[in-house]
Amino acid sequence: MKNVIFFTHSLSGGGAEKTVRQLSKYINDHDISAKAYVCVVYDDPDYHDEVENLIVLNHKSDEDDSRIKKGLNVLRQIAEVRNIKKKLSIDTCVSFLPGADIINVFSGIGEKQIVSVRNKESLFTHNIFKKIYVKTAYKRCDKIVAVTEVVRKDCIDFFDVPQDKVVTIHNAICDMNDNPKLLDSVSKFIDGHKVIVNVGRLTDQKGQDHLLKAFAITCKAYPEYRLLILGDGERKKDLEKLASELGILDIVMFAGNVINPAAYLRKADIFVLSSNVEGMPNVLLEAMQCGLPCVSTECGAREILAPNTDVGYETKTVDVSEYGILVPVCTTDNDERILADGIMKLIDDASLAQMYREKALECISRFKMENIIQKWIEVL
Protein backbone atom coordinates (compact mmCIF):
# COMPACT_ATOMS: atom_id res chain seq x y z
CA MET A 1 0.00 0.00 0.00
CA LYS A 2 1.50 3.31 -1.11
CA ASN A 3 0.79 6.46 0.89
CA VAL A 4 0.22 9.52 -1.30
CA ILE A 5 -0.33 13.05 -0.07
CA PHE A 6 -1.67 15.93 -2.14
CA PHE A 7 -0.58 19.34 -0.89
CA THR A 8 -2.07 22.71 -1.85
CA HIS A 9 -3.24 25.95 -0.27
CA SER A 10 -6.95 25.19 0.12
CA LEU A 11 -9.82 22.97 -1.01
CA SER A 12 -11.73 25.79 -2.69
CA GLY A 13 -10.69 27.65 -5.80
CA GLY A 14 -10.06 26.70 -9.40
CA GLY A 15 -8.78 23.72 -11.35
CA ALA A 16 -5.89 22.86 -9.01
CA GLU A 17 -8.11 22.51 -5.97
CA LYS A 18 -10.73 20.57 -7.89
CA THR A 19 -8.07 18.17 -9.19
CA VAL A 20 -6.85 17.54 -5.62
CA ARG A 21 -10.38 16.69 -4.51
CA GLN A 22 -11.03 14.47 -7.53
CA LEU A 23 -7.76 12.52 -7.39
CA SER A 24 -7.81 11.89 -3.66
CA LYS A 25 -11.43 10.72 -3.79
CA TYR A 26 -10.81 8.37 -6.72
CA ILE A 27 -7.76 6.79 -5.09
CA ASN A 28 -9.56 6.22 -1.80
CA ASP A 29 -12.71 4.89 -3.48
CA HIS A 30 -10.93 2.36 -5.72
CA ASP A 31 -8.65 -0.60 -5.10
CA ILE A 32 -5.40 0.64 -6.59
CA SER A 33 -3.06 -0.23 -3.70
CA ALA A 34 -2.77 3.36 -2.52
CA LYS A 35 -4.12 5.56 0.25
CA ALA A 36 -4.53 9.29 -0.36
CA TYR A 37 -4.19 12.13 2.11
CA VAL A 38 -4.88 15.81 1.46
CA CYS A 39 -2.91 18.53 3.21
CA VAL A 40 -3.93 22.18 2.98
CA VAL A 41 -2.83 25.45 4.54
CA TYR A 42 -6.33 26.95 4.77
CA ASP A 43 -9.44 24.96 5.66
CA ASP A 44 -12.78 25.12 3.85
CA PRO A 45 -15.56 23.14 5.57
CA ASP A 46 -17.80 23.38 2.46
CA TYR A 47 -15.67 20.68 0.83
CA HIS A 48 -15.15 18.33 3.77
CA ASP A 49 -17.67 15.84 2.36
CA GLU A 50 -15.53 15.43 -0.77
CA VAL A 51 -12.22 14.71 0.98
CA GLU A 52 -11.05 11.91 3.26
CA ASN A 53 -7.90 12.01 5.40
CA LEU A 54 -7.72 15.81 5.47
CA ILE A 55 -4.91 17.58 7.30
CA VAL A 56 -4.89 21.35 7.89
CA LEU A 57 -1.59 23.02 8.76
CA ASN A 58 -1.33 24.92 12.03
CA HIS A 59 0.93 27.62 10.60
CA LYS A 60 -0.52 30.09 8.11
CA SER A 61 -0.11 33.71 7.09
CA ASP A 62 -2.58 36.57 6.82
CA GLU A 63 -2.61 39.03 3.92
CA ASP A 64 -1.47 41.90 6.15
CA ASP A 65 1.50 39.99 7.63
CA SER A 66 4.93 41.47 6.95
CA ARG A 67 7.27 39.76 4.49
CA ILE A 68 9.47 38.67 7.38
CA LYS A 69 6.55 37.06 9.18
CA LYS A 70 5.39 35.36 5.99
CA GLY A 71 8.89 34.06 5.37
CA LEU A 72 9.12 32.66 8.91
CA ASN A 73 5.75 30.99 8.44
CA VAL A 74 6.99 29.29 5.28
CA LEU A 75 9.90 27.82 7.27
CA ARG A 76 7.46 26.63 9.93
CA GLN A 77 5.22 25.12 7.24
CA ILE A 78 8.17 23.26 5.74
CA ALA A 79 8.96 21.77 9.14
CA GLU A 80 5.31 20.91 9.76
CA VAL A 81 4.88 19.22 6.37
CA ARG A 82 8.10 17.26 6.90
CA ASN A 83 6.77 15.94 10.21
CA ILE A 84 3.48 14.98 8.55
CA LYS A 85 5.33 13.07 5.84
CA LYS A 86 7.33 11.19 8.45
CA LYS A 87 4.31 10.38 10.62
CA LEU A 88 2.29 9.04 7.68
CA SER A 89 5.24 7.30 5.96
CA ILE A 90 4.49 9.16 2.76
CA ASP A 91 5.81 7.55 -0.43
CA THR A 92 4.79 10.33 -2.85
CA CYS A 93 3.90 13.99 -2.37
CA VAL A 94 2.20 15.94 -5.14
CA SER A 95 2.02 19.73 -4.78
CA PHE A 96 -0.20 22.18 -6.63
CA LEU A 97 0.71 25.87 -7.21
CA PRO A 98 4.15 27.50 -6.76
CA GLY A 99 3.95 28.32 -3.04
CA ALA A 100 3.05 24.73 -2.20
CA ASP A 101 5.73 23.44 -4.58
CA ILE A 102 8.52 25.12 -2.61
CA ILE A 103 7.25 23.68 0.66
CA ASN A 104 6.98 20.24 -0.94
CA VAL A 105 10.53 20.08 -2.29
CA PHE A 106 12.15 21.48 0.87
CA SER A 107 10.22 19.19 3.24
CA GLY A 108 11.39 15.96 1.70
CA ILE A 109 12.06 12.79 3.69
CA GLY A 110 13.17 10.75 0.68
CA GLU A 111 9.71 10.38 -0.85
CA LYS A 112 8.98 10.94 -4.54
CA GLN A 113 8.21 14.63 -5.07
CA ILE A 114 5.92 15.66 -7.92
CA VAL A 115 5.07 19.23 -8.90
CA SER A 116 1.82 19.85 -10.78
CA VAL A 117 2.08 22.92 -13.02
CA ARG A 118 -1.34 24.40 -13.63
CA ASN A 119 -0.59 27.44 -15.77
CA LYS A 120 1.82 28.95 -18.24
CA GLU A 121 4.00 30.25 -15.40
CA SER A 122 6.20 32.37 -17.67
CA LEU A 123 3.28 34.79 -17.94
CA PHE A 124 3.30 35.27 -14.16
CA THR A 125 7.07 35.44 -13.73
CA HIS A 126 7.77 39.16 -13.90
CA ASN A 127 11.28 39.27 -12.41
CA ILE A 128 14.39 37.12 -12.08
CA PHE A 129 13.70 36.34 -8.43
CA LYS A 130 10.29 34.81 -9.22
CA LYS A 131 11.87 32.78 -12.01
CA ILE A 132 14.54 31.45 -9.66
CA TYR A 133 11.84 30.67 -7.10
CA VAL A 134 9.87 28.60 -9.59
CA LYS A 135 12.94 26.98 -11.19
CA THR A 136 14.15 25.83 -7.77
CA ALA A 137 11.02 23.77 -7.27
CA TYR A 138 11.21 22.40 -10.82
CA LYS A 139 14.87 21.45 -10.39
CA ARG A 140 14.53 19.76 -6.99
CA CYS A 141 11.40 17.70 -7.70
CA ASP A 142 11.45 14.23 -9.26
CA LYS A 143 8.71 14.78 -11.82
CA ILE A 144 6.61 17.60 -13.23
CA VAL A 145 3.02 17.10 -14.38
CA ALA A 146 1.87 19.81 -16.80
CA VAL A 147 -1.85 20.34 -17.26
CA THR A 148 -1.57 20.92 -21.04
CA GLU A 149 0.98 20.60 -23.84
CA VAL A 150 1.27 24.39 -23.90
CA VAL A 151 2.21 24.37 -20.21
CA ARG A 152 4.64 21.49 -20.77
CA LYS A 153 6.35 23.41 -23.57
CA ASP A 154 6.56 26.48 -21.32
CA CYS A 155 8.32 24.45 -18.61
CA ILE A 156 10.87 23.24 -21.14
CA ASP A 157 11.45 26.46 -23.10
CA PHE A 158 11.24 29.11 -20.35
CA PHE A 159 12.36 27.23 -17.25
CA ASP A 160 14.90 24.89 -18.91
CA VAL A 161 13.27 21.70 -17.62
CA PRO A 162 14.60 18.51 -19.32
CA GLN A 163 11.97 17.10 -21.69
CA ASP A 164 11.90 13.69 -20.03
CA LYS A 165 11.14 15.23 -16.62
CA VAL A 166 7.79 16.75 -17.56
CA VAL A 167 4.67 14.88 -18.66
CA THR A 168 1.26 16.19 -19.71
CA ILE A 169 -1.83 15.04 -17.84
CA HIS A 170 -5.00 16.99 -18.55
CA ASN A 171 -7.61 17.82 -15.93
CA ALA A 172 -10.37 15.25 -15.56
CA ILE A 173 -14.07 15.88 -15.88
CA CYS A 174 -16.42 14.19 -13.40
CA ASP A 175 -20.18 13.91 -13.35
CA MET A 176 -21.86 17.12 -12.24
CA ASN A 177 -24.75 17.14 -9.81
CA ASP A 178 -27.53 19.66 -10.29
CA ASN A 179 -28.34 22.09 -7.54
CA PRO A 180 -31.89 21.50 -6.23
CA LYS A 181 -33.03 24.70 -7.93
CA LEU A 182 -31.80 27.98 -9.30
CA LEU A 183 -31.82 31.09 -7.20
CA ASP A 184 -35.24 32.74 -7.52
CA SER A 185 -33.58 35.93 -8.71
CA VAL A 186 -31.82 34.05 -11.52
CA SER A 187 -34.98 32.20 -12.56
CA LYS A 188 -36.86 35.49 -12.80
CA PHE A 189 -34.01 37.13 -14.74
CA ILE A 190 -33.75 34.45 -17.45
CA ASP A 191 -37.45 33.54 -17.71
CA GLY A 192 -38.63 33.86 -21.30
CA HIS A 193 -35.18 34.84 -22.63
CA LYS A 194 -32.23 33.28 -24.42
CA VAL A 195 -29.16 33.13 -22.16
CA ILE A 196 -25.43 33.53 -22.65
CA VAL A 197 -23.51 32.34 -19.59
CA ASN A 198 -20.00 32.90 -18.29
CA VAL A 199 -18.48 31.30 -15.18
CA GLY A 200 -15.34 32.61 -13.47
CA ARG A 201 -13.84 34.82 -10.81
CA LEU A 202 -14.43 38.50 -11.44
CA THR A 203 -10.78 39.38 -12.07
CA ASP A 204 -8.74 40.90 -14.88
CA GLN A 205 -7.59 37.42 -15.92
CA LYS A 206 -11.12 36.26 -16.72
CA GLY A 207 -11.83 39.10 -19.17
CA GLN A 208 -15.46 39.76 -18.31
CA ASP A 209 -14.98 43.41 -19.25
CA HIS A 210 -14.37 42.29 -22.84
CA LEU A 211 -17.38 40.00 -22.69
CA LEU A 212 -19.60 42.88 -21.58
CA LYS A 213 -18.45 44.98 -24.52
CA ALA A 214 -18.99 42.07 -26.92
CA PHE A 215 -22.44 41.45 -25.45
CA ALA A 216 -23.32 45.13 -25.89
CA ILE A 217 -22.75 44.57 -29.60
CA THR A 218 -24.59 41.23 -29.67
CA CYS A 219 -27.74 42.36 -27.87
CA LYS A 220 -28.34 45.14 -30.39
CA ALA A 221 -28.87 42.50 -33.06
CA TYR A 222 -30.44 39.95 -30.72
CA PRO A 223 -32.38 41.76 -27.96
CA GLU A 224 -33.93 38.50 -26.74
CA TYR A 225 -30.58 37.48 -25.19
CA ARG A 226 -29.44 38.09 -21.63
CA LEU A 227 -26.02 37.61 -20.07
CA LEU A 228 -25.60 35.63 -16.84
CA ILE A 229 -22.21 35.79 -15.11
CA LEU A 230 -21.52 33.33 -12.28
CA GLY A 231 -18.67 34.18 -9.91
CA ASP A 232 -17.42 36.86 -7.59
CA GLY A 233 -14.27 38.88 -7.16
CA GLU A 234 -12.59 42.21 -6.71
CA ARG A 235 -13.75 43.59 -10.08
CA LYS A 236 -17.49 43.21 -9.46
CA LYS A 237 -18.17 46.91 -8.87
CA ASP A 238 -16.04 47.92 -11.85
CA LEU A 239 -17.88 45.46 -14.09
CA GLU A 240 -21.27 46.63 -12.87
CA LYS A 241 -20.22 50.20 -13.62
CA LEU A 242 -19.07 49.19 -17.11
CA ALA A 243 -22.37 47.41 -17.78
CA SER A 244 -24.19 50.56 -16.72
CA GLU A 245 -22.05 52.74 -19.00
CA LEU A 246 -22.74 50.34 -21.89
CA GLY A 247 -26.48 50.59 -21.23
CA ILE A 248 -26.86 46.84 -20.61
CA LEU A 249 -27.04 46.62 -16.81
CA ASP A 250 -30.70 45.61 -16.89
CA ILE A 251 -29.96 42.61 -19.17
CA VAL A 252 -26.79 41.45 -17.37
CA MET A 253 -26.84 39.60 -14.06
CA PHE A 254 -23.89 39.03 -11.73
CA ALA A 255 -25.24 36.06 -9.79
CA GLY A 256 -22.28 35.50 -7.45
CA ASN A 257 -20.49 32.28 -6.53
CA VAL A 258 -22.19 28.97 -7.26
CA ILE A 259 -20.49 25.81 -5.94
CA ASN A 260 -22.14 23.59 -8.55
CA PRO A 261 -23.06 25.52 -11.72
CA ALA A 262 -24.61 22.58 -13.64
CA ALA A 263 -28.23 23.62 -13.11
CA TYR A 264 -27.43 27.12 -14.34
CA LEU A 265 -25.46 25.91 -17.34
CA ARG A 266 -28.29 23.64 -18.43
CA LYS A 267 -30.67 26.61 -18.52
CA ALA A 268 -28.37 28.56 -20.86
CA ASP A 269 -28.09 28.56 -24.64
CA ILE A 270 -24.44 29.53 -25.21
CA PHE A 271 -21.35 29.42 -23.01
CA VAL A 272 -18.62 32.04 -23.48
CA LEU A 273 -15.13 31.86 -21.98
CA SER A 274 -13.56 35.31 -22.20
CA SER A 275 -10.33 34.73 -20.23
CA ASN A 276 -6.98 36.26 -21.10
CA VAL A 277 -5.11 33.15 -19.95
CA GLU A 278 -6.00 29.76 -18.46
CA GLY A 279 -3.98 26.69 -17.60
CA MET A 280 -6.69 24.30 -18.65
CA PRO A 281 -10.22 25.74 -18.46
CA ASN A 282 -12.24 23.13 -16.54
CA VAL A 283 -15.34 25.28 -16.82
CA LEU A 284 -15.28 24.81 -20.59
CA LEU A 285 -15.48 21.04 -20.09
CA GLU A 286 -18.31 21.50 -17.59
CA ALA A 287 -20.25 23.64 -20.05
CA MET A 288 -19.84 21.01 -22.77
CA GLN A 289 -20.87 18.30 -20.31
CA CYS A 290 -24.12 20.23 -19.96
CA GLY A 291 -24.54 20.21 -23.74
CA LEU A 292 -23.71 23.87 -24.38
CA PRO A 293 -22.15 25.13 -27.62
CA CYS A 294 -19.11 27.19 -26.67
CA VAL A 295 -17.17 30.26 -27.74
CA SER A 296 -13.74 30.74 -26.20
CA THR A 297 -10.80 33.07 -26.50
CA GLU A 298 -7.38 31.59 -27.25
CA CYS A 299 -6.67 31.50 -23.52
CA GLY A 300 -5.62 27.84 -23.41
CA ALA A 301 -8.75 26.27 -24.88
CA ARG A 302 -7.29 25.13 -28.22
CA GLU A 303 -6.31 21.69 -26.90
CA ILE A 304 -9.96 21.15 -25.96
CA LEU A 305 -11.84 22.70 -28.89
CA ALA A 306 -9.34 22.08 -31.70
CA PRO A 307 -7.24 19.07 -30.58
CA ASN A 308 -5.96 18.24 -34.05
CA THR A 309 -4.33 21.63 -34.61
CA ASP A 310 -0.98 23.05 -33.50
CA VAL A 311 -1.35 23.86 -29.78
CA GLY A 312 0.79 26.96 -30.27
CA TYR A 313 -1.38 28.44 -33.01
CA GLU A 314 -3.57 31.44 -32.15
CA THR A 315 -6.34 32.56 -34.47
CA LYS A 316 -6.80 36.20 -35.44
CA THR A 317 -10.39 35.77 -36.60
CA VAL A 318 -13.45 33.63 -35.80
CA ASP A 319 -12.18 30.05 -35.97
CA VAL A 320 -15.01 27.54 -36.39
CA SER A 321 -13.15 24.60 -34.85
CA GLU A 322 -14.01 20.94 -34.36
CA TYR A 323 -15.74 21.27 -30.98
CA GLY A 324 -16.40 24.99 -30.60
CA ILE A 325 -15.56 28.49 -31.78
CA LEU A 326 -12.20 30.09 -30.96
CA VAL A 327 -11.49 33.83 -31.13
CA PRO A 328 -8.43 35.92 -30.23
CA VAL A 329 -7.73 36.98 -26.66
CA CYS A 330 -9.18 40.48 -26.43
CA THR A 331 -6.58 43.23 -26.38
CA THR A 332 -8.28 45.73 -28.71
CA ASP A 333 -11.76 46.97 -29.59
CA ASN A 334 -11.52 44.92 -32.78
CA ASP A 335 -10.92 41.74 -30.77
CA GLU A 336 -14.09 42.46 -28.80
CA ARG A 337 -15.92 42.80 -32.09
CA ILE A 338 -14.52 39.42 -33.16
CA LEU A 339 -15.73 37.91 -29.87
CA ALA A 340 -19.19 39.32 -30.60
CA ASP A 341 -18.99 37.87 -34.13
CA GLY A 342 -18.15 34.46 -32.67
CA ILE A 343 -21.17 34.60 -30.38
CA MET A 344 -23.46 35.78 -33.19
CA LYS A 345 -22.13 33.02 -35.44
CA LEU A 346 -23.63 30.48 -33.03
CA ILE A 347 -26.88 32.43 -32.81
CA ASP A 348 -27.17 32.77 -36.59
CA ASP A 349 -26.19 29.20 -37.46
CA ALA A 350 -28.56 26.90 -35.59
CA SER A 351 -27.17 23.81 -37.32
CA LEU A 352 -23.64 24.66 -36.17
CA ALA A 353 -24.81 25.18 -32.60
CA GLN A 354 -26.66 21.86 -32.71
CA MET A 355 -23.58 20.09 -34.08
CA TYR A 356 -21.52 21.38 -31.15
CA ARG A 357 -24.18 20.18 -28.70
CA GLU A 358 -24.10 16.71 -30.27
CA LYS A 359 -20.30 16.52 -30.34
CA ALA A 360 -19.79 17.84 -26.80
CA LEU A 361 -19.80 14.42 -25.13
CA GLU A 362 -17.43 13.10 -27.78
CA CYS A 363 -15.04 15.93 -26.96
CA ILE A 364 -15.06 15.52 -23.20
CA SER A 365 -14.70 11.72 -23.35
CA ARG A 366 -10.94 12.32 -23.64
CA PHE A 367 -11.03 13.90 -20.20
CA LYS A 368 -13.08 11.30 -18.30
CA MET A 369 -11.59 10.43 -14.92
CA GLU A 370 -11.09 6.75 -15.82
CA ASN A 371 -8.83 7.83 -18.70
CA ILE A 372 -6.94 10.53 -16.81
CA ILE A 373 -6.41 8.53 -13.60
CA GLN A 374 -4.39 5.84 -15.35
CA LYS A 375 -1.82 8.44 -16.36
CA TRP A 376 -1.66 9.72 -12.78
CA ILE A 377 -1.22 6.21 -11.40
CA GLU A 378 1.76 5.69 -13.69
CA VAL A 379 3.39 8.87 -12.41
CA LEU A 380 2.55 8.26 -8.74
Q: Is the pLDDT of residue 13 over 80?
A: no
Q: Is the pLDDT of residue 356 over 70?
A: yes
The mean pLDDT value for 7-12 works out to 92
Of the pLDDT bands very low, low, confident and very high (cuts 50, 70, 90), residue 32 is: confident
Q: pLDDT digit string (tens) for 41-71?
A: 999 998 898 899 999 999 988 878 888 888 8
Fold of 184-366: Rossmann fold (3.40.50)
DSSP codes of every residue in 296-355: EESSS-HHHH-TTS-TT---SS-EE-SSSEEE----SHHHHHHHHHHHHHHHH-HHHHHH
Of the listed ranges 50-59, 118-127, 268-277, 293-302, the one predicted with least confidence: 118-127
All residues at 6 or more sequence positions from 68 whose CB lies less than 8 Å from its CB, including other chains: none
Q: How far is CA 367 from CA 139, 170, 175, 222, 336, in A?
A: 29, 7, 11, 34, 30
Number of alpha carbons in the 13 Å side-chain half-sphere of residue 287: 27
Domain ranges of the chain: 2-169, 184-366
Q: Is the pLDDT of residue 294 over 80?
A: yes
Cα separation, 6 vs 23, in Å, equals 9
Q: Listing from the earlier edge strand, what are the strands of the sheet with 252-256? A: 252-256, 225-230, 194-199, 270-273, 294-297, 325-327, 319-320
Query: Which CATH architecture best describes the domain 2-169?
Result: 3-Layer(aba) Sandwich (3.40)
**Reduced DSSP (H G I as helix, E B as strand, rest coil) percent helix, strand, coil of the chain, to 5:** 50, 20, 35
Of the pLDDT bands very low, low, confident and very high (cuts 50, 70, 90), residue 148 is: very high
Q: pLDDT digit string (tens) for 155-207?
A: 999 999 999 999 999 998 877 766 667 888 898 999 999 999 999 999 999 99
Cβ pair 300, 277 in contact under 8 A: yes
| Fold agreement (2-169, 184-366) | yes
